[in-house]
Amino acid sequence: MSHEPRRKFSVKEVGNMAYSVEDAGKRVEELRKEIEEHNYRYYVLDRPVIEDSEFDRLMRELDKLEKDFPELVTPYSPTQRVGGKASERFRKVVHSVPMLSLANAFGEGELRDFDRRVRSAVNGPVEYVVEFKIDGLSVALQYRDGVFYRGATRGDGVVGEDVTANLRTIKTIPLRLKQNLTLEARGEVYISQQGFEELNRRQEDLGLAVFANPRNAAAGSLRQLDPGVTASRPLDILIFNLEYIEGRETGSHSEGLDLLSELGFKVSPMYDVCTDIGDVIEKCLYWQEQRDRLDFEIDGIVIKVNSIRQREVLGATSKNPRWAVAYKFPAQAKTTVVRDIIIQVGRTGALTPTALLEPVRISGSTVSRATLHNEDYIRDKDIRIGDTVLVKKAGEIIPEVVEVLKEHRTGKEKVFDMPDRCPECGSEAMRIEGEAATRCTGISCPAKTRRSIIHFVSRDAMDISGLGPSIIEQLLDEGLIKDASDLYYLKDRSGQLENLERMGKKSVENLLNAIEASKDRGLSRVITSLGIPYVGSRAAALLARHFGSMDRLMEAGKEELMEVPEIGDKMADSIRTFLNQEQNLKFINNLKESGVKMTEDRAADAAPGKFSGQTFVLTGTLGKYTRNEAAEIIERLGGKVSGSVSKKTDYVVAGENPGSKLDKARNLGVKVIGEREFDELIGY
């Protein structure tokens, strides 16, 4: 009688139980499903059915099993919500379907015009879905076989940033759906009013800068390089669209939202189907008055055609879908009192008067300051210290004094006079004829230096993370730097850096690494960082692309500068004036000697702009380039990369395993090329 060898099972003690791998796998799956259900009931439905202590016990058991059996860990496990590594930078993601922006409507008349255009195009009755326009950050969430595998920011609508690790930390995003479906959902990440207030209280307790408004807090939190920081922020999400789904069809937008809710997503708490534009307008006006009742910020109402078939008939422009519009609320205005007027000195030396206000809540944030722009603005509006004023946010962002309520004057108000000396350095303050601004004449004004460094390290310039205003202030006060170029020599002073407030050894290491990484940003970022008057990031990119190096730019005369598209007479004069000053040349030379990159990479230099006016679509896997790299090459050569094929597409670049875009291109007669032909086009 032959004997089969007995199978050996690894058995481990977990708590009071002995588990084999097979038994542990079954228990792990049971725990995950139970925890997912409780998460859904708590965070999405707001109807928990167990005590926190019981939930914690389930999580501890799952965590212990996964530690003892690491081979059972999966990306969708509840324990993996905060498990990603801190990222050096965010990988670019080309959206499978472009995330278009919405056209705006600012009144009842424009909503009726939208309705007329829609009904004329579809030649029949139309249903509309009315939803909140949440003031947050739009993201795309992709699921494969029911498991969340990638999430990206909207970016420019075509290319976004991969923030999957950070999105995993948001409890209302299911890591696994209730059905094994492959789909893409889109939603808005936001922070509630209560969460925002608690976050700012925590920031103040830690001695950190508070956030201006919930939207900025949400956007900044989602783009943290360390997912652990994101997890500490009270982020939430509301899903507003089912972009695509494999193996199923939805005939309407409302049907798609219902399905998303069934799958475990948190969808908008208000989406109404209206059969008449009058009903739509009524809902817009209602929420315009009642928006303060909500615990999250909305800046309008979104109106979408409900029928998917009618949406296909309506189509889209290059920027906006024709089947949707955003009704924007007018800016809120509130009354408050001007307690004082102070002067702030900018990086160009401009003295800007700022009103200190009795705090008042407007459009989602507490406003305690408002810029008064210049002396003429104060005089024209007759703004005095002690005045009762009407304040609103320009573009829902920047607080401004709209009107002085003179009927509230008591006679105790004080007229404000612009100072003739800089409040920061005591140098003479002058107003040049023809200019509205009064400027400090001091060459070494500390306020100008401080603000120029803040600009230098900002995201659009050299993008040095960890260098906030308080750290810059300390570096200047301790004499460790005199200007921004000195930042690149701080590696020799790491010991002194550790003595700064809230700067331990690890913080110093991170800061020095961020400074070192910024050396490779390229010429366009360097030009932006210089703070040349009238030269923003767009003009800097055009100059970098045209000249290719700082040396070539510095040699260029006014006439040559004006050959660059969008560089006019005033900007050319400003560039030449800046580059003719000895102290600015010394600053640039310091950057160069420290190893800062002073050139711009330009693919196919022999033929810049050769793709101007042409649209490309990328599909499949390329062998030589990632999609992002191919897209960057096309854009450097003046072309545009789209996420969908249309009759206006010039080329579809197809790699291995191309998707449905290839079929659509062939049906439309769009030229399809492979990687070899793409190389020939770009001159490689």
Q: Which strand (E) or helix (H) includes residue 30?
A: helix 21-39
Structure tokens, 76: 């969708």
Q: Other CB atoms closer than 10 Å to residue 356's CB: what's the count?
A: 15
Q: Report the C-alpha gap between 441 and 248 in whole angstroms.
A: 68
* Pure H helices in 430-536: 446-456, 469-477, 494-497, 505-517, 523-529
Check if the beta carbon of residue 41 is closer than 8 Å to that of residue 49: yes
| DSSP-derived 3-state class of residue 101 | coil
Token pair listed for 289: 């008055």
Tell me which residue of 443, 434, 441 sits closest to 420, measured CA to CA.
441
In 480-630, beta strands by DSSP E: 615-619
65: tokens are 């099993």
Q: What SS3 class is residue 664? A: helix
Question: Whole-angstrom Cα distance, residue 575 to residue 13?
Answer: 72
- The residue annotated as part of the active site, out of 133, 283, 393, 448, is 133
Give me the long-range contacts of 142-145 (CB less than 8 A, separation at least 24): 142/96, 142/183, 142/184, 143/177, 143/181, 143/182, 143/183, 143/184, 143/185, 144/182, 145/180, 145/181, 145/182
Residue with the two structure tokens 């936001």: 190
Q: Which residues does residue 141 pair with via DSSP β-bridges, in sequence order?
A: 151, 185
Q: Which residues pair with 366 in a beta bridge?
A: 361
Instruction: Establish whether 133 is a catalytic residue.
Output: yes
Q: How far apart are CA 505 and CA 207, in angstroms?
A: 19
Nearest to 149 by CA among 188, 96, 191: 96
How much of the chain is in helix, strand and coil states, percent to nearest 5? Answer: 40, 25, 40
CA–CA gap between residue 677 and residue 624 (Å, rounded):
13
In this structure, are residues 14 and 24 in contact, taking their beta carbons and an 8 Å threshold? Answer: yes
For the record, the structure tokens of 557 come out as: 């005369």
Could you tell me where the DSSP H helices lie in 128-226? 164-167, 193-205, 214-222
d(CA 133, CA 107): 15
Structure tokens at 16: 């009071």
Contacts of 559 (CB under 8 A, 6+ apart): none
Q: Where are the alpha helices (DSSP H) in 40-161?
A: 52-68, 108-122
Catalytic residue ranges = 133
